[in-house]
Each structure stands twice: as C-alpha cells, then as structure tokens.
C-alpha cells in the first residue's frame, strides 16, 4: 500500500508543528473519518476529539445536513464574487442572521476566510474609521500578553505569545502588549493598561483587542470585573473595544458569544471557527452602527479591502445551516450543562493525579494544567516537550 506517512513527511509542511519532529516520527495520526465527538484514523483507532479539533467543530463531525446544503449550493452557485457590490442570497441572509444574534448594535459584517484575516481586517477597518474622522494618528493596537489573534501580518503582531512573531519578526508596527489579568491581579492589569494609554497617548491608540477567554494562551478566564473595567477604560479614552470571538463565538462558552457572559458590548467583534463548525472556512468582522454610519457617511470611493472568498456563497450557506442546528438542538444550553459536568470530571482527575494542577473552564472550553510539583505549582521543564508525547 502507498506509504501516506512518507508522502506527508516529504511534501506536507504542517501548520504550527515541529518540522524536525515530523521528519523523525511522521504524522501523529492520519484521520479518515469523524462522527459526533469522535475521530477515526486509517488504522481504525477511535479518538475522542476533546478539543473539538481546533475548538471549532461546535456541532460535531459528520453532519449529513451540512453536506446536503453544500451540495445543493455548489450545484446552484458554488462561487460568485461579492466585490464591487455584486451579491448573493446566502451571504445576505447570513449577514442579517448574524446581526440578529450579535450583542447590541453590531449590525454590519465584513466576511473573511478565517480568524487571522478577520483580525487583520478589523485592524484595517478601525484605522480607516479613525482616518475618516481626521484622526489618522490613532493607529496603535493594544492586546494582552499571551493573547492569540492569529498569524497574518497585523494579527501576528497583535498576538502576545512571542514565539509567533520571533520566527520572522514583526510585519506591522505599533503593537503594545499589556499585563494579563490572569498572570497579575485584575487591578494591576487595569492599572498597567491605564498607564500604557497615558504613556503612549490615547490620541495614538486605535483599539484594544481581547479574547473574552484566552484560548491558545492557556484557557485563561478573566476575573469577574476585568472585562467591564477594560470596557470603561476604552470608552473613557476614545479607544475602540474589539472582542476576538474566534474561539468563544457560537456557543463554545455556554453563550452565543463569549462577551455575553459578562454583559459587555464591543465596538467591533471578530469571529470564525464555530460560524461553520469547520465544515468550510469562513470568518468575519462585525462593527457597531456608529462605525457603520461613519463608513456610510465618509468612506467615499472604493473600500480597497476584500478577499476573493469574502462572503463565499457555499461557506455562508452552510454557516446558516450550522447556526440553525445550534439553535434547533439548543446546543448553547447543552454546552452550559455539559461544561459543568466536564469541569466536575476534570476536578475528579485533579484529585487523583499528582501531575494535574489547576483545572478551569467555562462552557465547553476547559483546561487542566500539568505540573511537575502540585504543591509548588511548578511547571515541567519545557525542554521535555511533555505535551507532545
């Protein structure tokens, strides 16, 4: 039989993977099928997809209903462009549906193909917004240390995990990473934010971008008042508040959007992953009425920003079906209920195993920390690459 693992090693450069390790060990598994929470590999092994792949397969694997919609849409109109105001029904209907679901007055959406493109787009749209109002100096973006916002140009630099921008250097300037409330106290984090705004000058700062719950940085759930306080500081300083809901959107935390756990109203919200549950790539940026009004009033001529796949007909058609399934099957309430059970189970494991330290979660976004010494909360030596075993 053809040696797929060897072909993988020879030809496939994997995302966020060790190239050297791949050359030594080959792919960890070659999956061939998914069903519900399970993945199956070519050798017939069955896995629980505990991370929901990349926290994105919110409705589970193997949904025939989604495949049927994709087939129907592909046969009718697989693709047409949305440039130069050409349009099509699935994107229009999805935009309207998202407006009905998003918090407050986030009523207009710019579509992309994923989270990184969404955050780059958000940063460009925000700078455009300030420029249109004669405030072109408002360019800097504040994010948290350990934040993950993606790997395109602006989103790489917005990411607060240094490894991601160390590999090729920053591609954009004006990125500021401030204290993380999980690693300091919430009060210290707010003070650090306020001092940073003072030092940099609010007149130079475009936006503060944050994941309502930090995902890749370690599933860090913000202390209770933190997001509300940040929201207030942004408002007081005329800085836009951007919620990166790429992981937390579409039910993952037990609410449709993560910010709804804390009653926060963003000016801008980015999403991807759960909008299609990964069945096709799609993302987007939602803006408030105020921002949309400024665009309508002052953005004369062409908006020179657009991806070939912005508002892809088939991707938007299946997103509508995905959201219908989330609503019809009450998956958000389910995530709350199952999240409680999951957390209880993880706590039981913590009680039994010496290497399990902190356990935390919200909805179906949870983590346990592996520690070398529980009492001292001491991590394993990263050189040992424990997580890759």
Q: Give the DSSP letter of residue 84.
A: G
Q: How far is the CB of 147 from ligand PMP (least distance, A)?
A: 8
From the CB of residue 192, how many other CB atoms can be counted at a distance below 10 Å?
16
State the residues that interact with ligand PMP by CB under 6 A: 54, 114-116, 119, 148-150, 211, 215-216, 244, 246-247, 272
Q: Is 206 or 219 the residue whose CB approaches ligand PMP more closely?
A: 219
- Torsion, CA 170, CA 202, CA 149, CA 105, rounded to 10: -150
- Tokens 């189970």 belong to 345
Q: Whose CB is nearest to ligand PMP?
A: 115
Phi, psi of 163 (to 5 degrees): -55, -35
Q: Is 153 or 202 the residue whose CB approaches ligand PMP more closely?
A: 153
Q: How far is the CB of 367 from ligand PMP (least distance, A)?
A: 13
Q: Is 70 or 246 the residue whose CB approaches ligand PMP more closely?
A: 246
Are 298 and 132 in contact, with CB atoms under 8 Å apart? yes
From the CB of residue 307, how many other CB atoms can be counted at a distance below 10 Å?
17
Q: Is 54 or 346 the residue whose CB approaches ligand PMP more closely?
A: 54
Q: How far is the CB of 149 from ligand PMP (least distance, A)?
A: 5
Q: How far is the CB of 145 from ligand PMP (least distance, A)?
A: 14
Q: Is 229 or 244 the residue whose CB approaches ligand PMP more closely?
A: 244
Q: Is 50 or 92 the residue whose CB approaches ligand PMP more closely?
A: 50
Q: Distance between CA 190 and CA 210 in Å, rounded?
A: 13
Q: Is 177 or 355 the residue whose CB approaches ligand PMP more closely?
A: 177
User: How is 322-381 classified by DSSP, letter by letter?
Assistant: HHHHHHHTTHHHHHHHHHHHHHHHHHHHHHH-TTEEEEEEETTEEEEEEEEETTTTEEPP
Residues facing residue 186 across a β-bridge:
none
* Three-class secondary structure assignment of 263-320: CCCCCEEEECHHHCCCCCCCEEEEEEHHHHHHHHHHCCCCCCCCCCCCCCHHHHHHHH
Q: How far is the CB of 56 from ligand PMP (least distance, A)?
A: 8
Q: How far is the CB of 211 from ligand PMP (least distance, A)?
A: 4
């Amino acid at each position: 039989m053809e040696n797929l693992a060897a072909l993988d090693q020879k030809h496939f450069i994997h995302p966020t993977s060790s190239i050297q390790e791949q050359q030594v060990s080959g792919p960890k598994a070659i999956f061939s099928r998914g069903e519900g929470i399970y993945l199956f590999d070519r050798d017939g092994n069955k896995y629980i997809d505990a991370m929901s792949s990349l926290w994105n397969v919110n409705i589970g694997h193997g949904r025939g209903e989604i495949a049927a919609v994709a087939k129907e849409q592909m046969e009718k109109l697989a693709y047409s462009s949305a440039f130069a105001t050409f349009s099509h029904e699935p994107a229009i209907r999805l935009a309207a549906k998202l407006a009905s679901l998003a918090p407050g007055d986030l009523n207009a959406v710019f579509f992309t193909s994923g989270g990184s493109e969404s955050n780059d787009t958000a940063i460009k749209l925000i700078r455009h917004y300030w420029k249109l109002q004669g405030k072109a100096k408002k360019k800097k973006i504040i994010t948290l240390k350990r934040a993950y916002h993606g790997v395109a140009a602006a989103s790489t630099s917005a990411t607060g995990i240094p490894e991601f921008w160390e590999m090729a250097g920053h591609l954009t300037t004006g990125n500021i990473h401030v204290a993380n409330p999980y690693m300091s106290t919430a009060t210290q984090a707010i003070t650090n934010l306020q001092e940073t705004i003072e030092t940099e000058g609010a007149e130079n700062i475009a936006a503060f971008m944050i994941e309502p719950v930090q995902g890749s940085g370690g599933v860090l759930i913000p202390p209770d008042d933190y997001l509300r306080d940040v929201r207030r500081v942004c408002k007081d300083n005329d800085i836009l508040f951007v919620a990166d809901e790429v992981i937390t959107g579409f039910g993952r935390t037990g609410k449709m959007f993560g910010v709804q756990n804390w009653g926060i109203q963003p000016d801008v919200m980015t999403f991807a992953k759960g909008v299609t549950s990964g069945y096709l790539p799609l993302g987007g940026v939602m803006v408030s009425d105020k921002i949309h009004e400024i665009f309508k009033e002052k953005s004369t001529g062409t908006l020179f920003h657009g991806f070939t796949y912005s508002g892809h007909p088939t991707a938007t058609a299946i997103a509508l079906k995905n959201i219908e399934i989330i609503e019809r099957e009450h998956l958000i309430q389910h995530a709350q209920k199952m999240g409680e059970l999951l957390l209880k189970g993880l706590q039981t494991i913590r009680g039994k195993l010496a290497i399990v330290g902190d356990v935390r979660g919200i909805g179906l976004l949870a983590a346990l920390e592996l520690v070398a010494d529980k009492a001292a909360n001491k991590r394993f030596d990263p050189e040992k690459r424990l997580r890759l075993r």
